[in-house]
Chains A and B, each alone.
Chain A
Amino acid sequence: DIQMTQSPSTLSASMGDRVTITCRASQNVVDWVAWYQQRPGKAPKLLIYKASSLQSGVPSRFSGSGSGTDFTLTISSLQPDDFAIYYCQQYITFSPTFGQGTKVEIK
């Protein structure tokens, strides 16, 4: 299985901050990467697919980039709803795998 490693595990930030989360794949996944947001007690929500495509209805302050093995999720200006856990996921194989998550908390 392809391993997805996120960093940092926890990120403390303030409202309005620019935040970047990174995800590294254990092998080349081209651009077959998605990003999800999960709030407590809720199901994950798709934010980004194919590394940089914004899912319909997701605010434009979210953006994704990268290719090959290194990917990033950026939130341009942190809002109250953005304090949550974020997961990357690869889907180049027949067996998708997720990263371990990055918790964005209030500083």
Chain B
Amino acid sequence: EVQLLESGGGLVKPGGSLRLSCAASGFTFKNFVINWVRQAPGKGPEWVSGISSSDASTYYADSVKGRFTISRDDSKNTLFLQMDSLRVEDTAVYYCAKDDGWFKPSHFDHWGQGVLVTVSS
């Protein structure tokens, strides 16, 4: 059974940093693109970032480019999201989402339970 377990969320002040982790199990982690998708309260999902399986190419939404960094440790089946220069508008539940492909972000066939990030003074 595919499982994705996020951790690292919490309350942070504007301009601060936070590092999210996603521990994966139940599939061959290194073979798939893995993504972060967020959802602000009462809003639809927003894709944030993805990292490929082949050459660890990284992809970012314009809203986080230059502030967030995605990475993966295939030896530990773990995905990370380093979030710097956080803004109030980054407040959301952040989901780790397994992609159906290996090359670039596409569609997301398994999701974690999500972790809440709150940016507030």
Query: Which residues of A are in contact with B by a Cβ distance under 8 Å?
Result: 1, 32, 34, 36, 38, 43-46, 49, 55, 87, 89, 91, 94-101
CB distance from B3 to the nearest CB of A (A): 12
Are the C-beta atoms of B113 and A96 separated by less than 8 Å?
no
B residues in contact with A100, CB < 8 Å: 44
Choose among B47, B100, B109, B112 the residue that contacts A97 (Cβ–Cβ < 8 A): B47
CB neighbors of A among B91-121 (8 A): 95, 100, 104-109, 111-114
- Are A43 and B61 CB-contacts (below 8 A) given A32-B106, A100-B44? no
- Are A46 and B107 CB-contacts (below 8 A) given A1-B62, A95-B61? yes
Whole-angstrom CA separation of A96 from B104 in the bound complex: 10
B residues in contact with A94, CB < 8 Å: 59, 104-105
Number of residues in B with C-beta < 8 Å to the partner? 20
What are 8 A-B pairs with beta-carbon distances under 8 A? A43-B112, A49-B100, A49-B107, A91-B107, A94-B105, A95-B59, A95-B105, A98-B45
Residue of B nearest to A4 (CB): B44
Choose among B61, B107, B114 the residue that contacts A89 (Cβ–Cβ < 8 A): B107
Do most interface residues of chain B lie in helix, strand or loop, or is the interface mixed?
loop
B residues in contact with A32, CB < 8 Å: 106
B residues in contact with A1, CB < 8 Å: 62
Choose among A34, A46, A91, A101 the residue that contacts B44 (Cβ–Cβ < 8 A): A101
B84: Cβ under 8 A from any A Cβ:
no
